[in-house]
Amino acid sequence: MQIVNFTGNEKTVQKVVLDNGITLIGIENQTADLIAGRLFFKGTGAMWESPQKSGLFHLLATVITKGTKHLSAQEIAEQIESIGASLGADASSDYFVLSLKTVAADFAQMLKLAGEILRSPTFPEAEIEREKQITRQNIRSQLEQPFNVAFNQLREIMYPDHPYGLSILGTEETVSQLTRFDIVQCHESYFRPDNLIISLSGRLTLKEAIALVEEVFGDWEIPQSSLTVPQIPELVPQPNRAITPQETQQSIVMLGYLGSAVKEPNYAALKLLSTYLGNGLSSRLFVELREKRGLAYDVSAFYPTRLEKSQFVIYIGTAPNNTAFALEGLRSEAERLRHTELTPQELQAAKNKILGQYALGKQTNAEMAQLFGWYETLGLGIEFDTQFQDAIAQVTVEMVRQVANEYFTEPYISMVGPAASVNGEW
């Protein structure tokens, strides 16, 4: 059993692979009497769903805590609440995770419960139907929110025939067609020890963590079958436009550019550009389009971390009569980055902001367990903590303009708002 040690954020992070393939990450923190855990399954999430089964992992996450071979949903809830702990499941584009947090004295009990939930869920039919109904209601609710409508249609035109093109919730049609058999088959295929990453942070040593994990999961054997790797279509930029007339109080304008995957060389520079453009009251978009020109109710940028090519998005919420000016403003700000270098002061301010926020995001046990477990799940390794910070520090003004020229060409455009304001832009 080989232990990998890594020191980051003034804490030692240790990683070990157990005999049955489970990867265990331990972050010892004796300052508080708490332990947080994240149990990730890699190779799961929306990217591994077929279009016909869209929403499957989200539905599985909603019902996996609703009953096991030995416990009902009510008994599971009572176990958690009786000791003031928290436990819940979630699915994203690139992974499935079970999260838990409790005081150190109760952690062994909670890990045992987590093990039972992950290994022997029963997926009661009544619970499945209830969660399907809730999910469909959430999907319908999103259709009433202009930002969500704009983002959903932007995602669809940027990722045609790609899993990232669909919401993690799925669609009303696909959710309605999902069955208990689909959920059971998904669980049997992907929930296995050699696909599991357990990240624990808090008042326990690695030796104690190994003993607890082996007690709960040590007899879980690797199946004979191999995991099926989906065929993901290659993404080629094909800029397009989408519009949804909707009688709202404001227009939403979104511009999207296909960015790099997390393992690609330009990831750090694009993260830095996202921070420079749209992160906070001092960001370029906020100052130029809201403060100086008075165009924005809301304006920002985001660039999610993804295994496959991610989307770099800039958006604005504006008064309907300002839609044309808002669209022009977003386009000109993206175009400006291709021709005008950031000043050294602007670049350093963006670096300070992103690295400062990154450090603040590693203060709690839950944040530490999430971050290092997530990095390992994405195949980056726990060392990515310092690699990312080093990559940000090494970005130059020349690199920023080069990356902008490569990615910020013709944008995908998504608009939602009153017909009179948005139709005129076509």
Give the CATH number of the domain where residue 106 resides. Answer: 3.30.830.10
Query: Is the domain of 166 the same as that of 276?
Result: no
pLDDT level of residue 136 (50, 70, 90 thresholds): very high
Asked if the structure places residue 321 within a domain, the reply is yes
* 300 in the same domain as 165: no
pLDDT for res 8: 60
Statement to judge: residues 359 and 414 lie in one domain: yes
- Whether 420 has a pLDDT exceeding 90, the answer reads no
pTM of the model: 0.94
Q: Per the structure, how many domains does the chain have?
A: 2
Average pLDDT value for residue range 71-85: 96
Using the predicted structure, report yes or no on whether residue 118 has a pLDDT greater than 60: yes
Instruction: Please indicate, yes or no, whether residues 247 and 153 belong to a single structural domain of this protein.
Output: no
Name the nearest CA neighbour of 303 among 314, 293, 295, 294.
314
Inside any domain, residue 222: no
**Res 426 pLDDT > 50:** no
**Both 274 and 162 in a single domain?**
no
Reported as a single tens digit per residue, the pLDDT across 276-330 is 999 999 999 999 999 999 999 999 999 999 999 999 999 999 999 999 999 999 9
Last residue of a domain, one of 185, 217, 249: 217
Which residue is it, tokens 């992103």? 354
**Beta-bridge partners for 252:** 317, 416
Residue 224 lies in a domain: no
- Is 227 contained in some domain? no
How many alpha carbons lie under 13 Å from residue 273 in its C-beta half-sphere? 33
Angle of helix 384-394 relative to helix 365-377, nearest 10 degrees? 80
What pLDDT score does 10 carry?
60
User: 149 with 265, same domain?
Assistant: no
Q: What percent of the chain has pLDDT over 90?
A: 89
User: Are 205 and 61 in a shared domain?
Assistant: yes
129 in a structural domain? yes
User: How far from chain centre, in Å, is Cα 318?
Assistant: 27
Same domain as 269, residue 383? yes
Mean pLDDT of all residues belonging to the chain? 94
Same structural domain, 159 and 272: no
pLDDT at 419 over 90: no
Same domain, 158 and 279: no
Tell which wins on pLDDT, 151 or 226: 151
Does residue 126 sit in the same domain as residue 252?
no
Token pair 């079970």 is at which residue? Answer: 98
Residue 225 is assigned to a structural domain of this protein:
no
Q: What's the confidence (pLDDT) of residue 2?
A: 66
Domain that holds residue 171: 3-217
| Residue 254 in domain | yes
